[in-house]
Amino acid sequence: MAVCRIFEVQGATLDQYDQVDSKYPDMPAENRYHVAGAVGDTLYVIEVWESGKASDRWMEEQIGPELGELGIPEPEVTEFEVHNEQRGG
């Protein structure tokens, strides 16, 4: 079952996000959707994955070590199973 994860990172910046993002220009095939932005001093990343295991693997093997090296705070994560997914256009 697909999952959506919302990462809320207090104190992280868009510059830090861009540093990590530039190292991974292509998301894995299991990632259906990725969007990032900020409100004030809080960074938000929203992702839809084929499964929670795929997201966990990506975080543990790729992104997690990068976040630690840059000193990016641990995110607060909200997760839910995707009930409906639609695309415009």
Longest dimension (CA), the chain: 39
**Fold of the domain built from segment(s) 3-81:** Alpha-Beta Plaits (3.30.70)
Rounded distance between C-alpha atoms, residue 23 and residue 10, angstroms? 22
Rounded distance between C-alpha atoms, residue 49 and residue 2, angstroms? 6
Task: Look at residue 67 in the predicted model and tell me its pLDDT.
Answer: 87
49 and 34 Cβ atoms separated by less than 8 Å: no
Question: How many helices (H) does the chain have, and how many strands (E)?
Answer: 3, 4
Per-residue pLDDT of the chain (89 residues; tens, 9 = 90+): 999 999 999 999 999 999 999 988 889 999 999 999 999 999 999 999 999 999 999 999 989 888 888 889 999 999 999 999 988 88
